[in-house]
Amino acid sequence: MRTQVAIIGGGPSGLLLSQLLNREGIETVVLERKTRDYVLSRIRAGVLEQGTVRLLRHAGVGGRMDEIGLPHDGCYLSTVEGKFHVSFRDMVNGQVLVYGQTEVTRDLYDAQDAIGATHVHEVEDVEIHDAESEHPYVTYRKEGKKHRVYCDYVAGCDGFHGVSRQTIPAGVRREFERVYPFGWLGILSETAPAADELIYANHPRGFALASMRNERLSRYYVQVPADEPIEKWTDEAFWDELRRRLPDDVAETMETGPSIEKSIAPLRSFVCEPMRHGRLFLVGDAAHIVPPTGAKGLNLAVGDVHYLYEALRRWYRDGDAEGIDSYSATALKRVWGAMRFSWWMTSMLHRFPDQSEFDQRMQESELRQLITVPSARATMAQNYVGLPY
């Protein structure tokens, strides 16, 4: 095959990039290791920044999102001193939209089908060749046969374990990582949300989060040790622990029910520099991982898509290579900003195994500042609704 942009990875970032480019008349081929059904079964993030919402609308996939997404003007923080509200609307005149990543992916697949975009699922042994030349190409194997895609550029949207980042020579890559000594035990349940907006809880027993996907689908998390066996947690044990960590008024009225999904997610902060090597660009989890505490994972990937889409559009329309040349530096500025916010939220809200009395007092002081200092709430609100592109 011959195309202009080969996209490795059929998750939301790869699909959104393909959608935006095709609407500009730029041809793409999307290669995905898994089946479409598998991609649509992934349970992921559900909080969309303002910039993410705008870009999805620009891509022509905002209709269902605007119809059934839940706008949130703030969130709650819960401490040993009680629950308080951070208003994004009052602080920065902003909001976020609760709309599950699975729904975003479904909308993008439907839009891609409508414009006839090229997708190849269940590919194996993907390799990127001659990324430093003017004529890169990608090979893959499907049903025992080897295929080749000639292209102008390669977008690596294939996640942390994908081939794209590993294609950049080890001597060129710099990787920064912090692995946290705990994970999030999460369940999905067909129950009404515990509150009208998300609740982030700092509790002596550990962090908890009450989140949602829609008015009858809730997502809850509790902090557990990184090596915790999931078999230890029955639904009843989970609900009991969650109630202990949430504010009393919420715990008393919260609806519970059987889990329809249960998993433990490890937490890490990770950044790869640079995000461009020759004609290969890294996008989303291929280049960076953030703890889910600040709801930045999908949103950060969408920010990368925005920068790469604008760069390629300018190149194919005007022959202007400035956006391509500056892609890595521009994207990394926003990546490190979101990395700092996610690290700050994680450090402020979780209990660490080696946490001292001093560390605990610092957490409490940080939370008290949010309660008492408007500028502290404004900084949190600005980062939560999304740093500008």
Q: What are phi and psi of 230, to 5 degrees?
A: -65, -25
- How many residues does the structure list for the chain? 389
Does residue 309 have an active-site annotation?
no
- Burial class (CB within 10 angstroms; exposed 0-12, middle 13-18, buried 19+) of 118: middle
Does residue 384 have an active-site annotation?
yes
63-87 burial, b at 16+ Cβ within 10 Å, e below that, comes to eebeeebbebbbbbbbbeeebeebb
Helix (H, G, I), strand (E, B) or coil at 155: strand
Residue type at 21 in one-letter notation: L
Helix (H, G, I), strand (E, B) or coil at 153: strand
Kindly write down the DSSP assignment for every residue of 227-268, as one continuous string: T--GGG--HHHHHHHHHHHS-HHHHHH-----EEEEEEEEEE
CA distance 25 to 152: 14
Does residue 296 have an active-site annotation?
yes
Does residue 200 have an active-site annotation?
yes
With beta carbons less than 8 A apart as the criterion, state whether 201 and 209 touch. yes
**E strand or H helix at 359, and its extent?**
helix 357-372
CA distance 218 to 256: 10
**Residue position matching structure tokens 């249960």:** 262
Does residue 333 have an active-site annotation?
no
**E strand or H helix at 371, and its extent?**
helix 357-372
Residue in 72, 277, 288, 306 annotated catalytic: 72
Helix (H, G, I), strand (E, B) or coil at 119: strand
Residue in 292, 309, 327, 350 annotated catalytic: 292
Residue in 109, 137, 200, 220 annotated catalytic: 200
Residues serving a catalytic function are 72, 200, 292, 296, 384
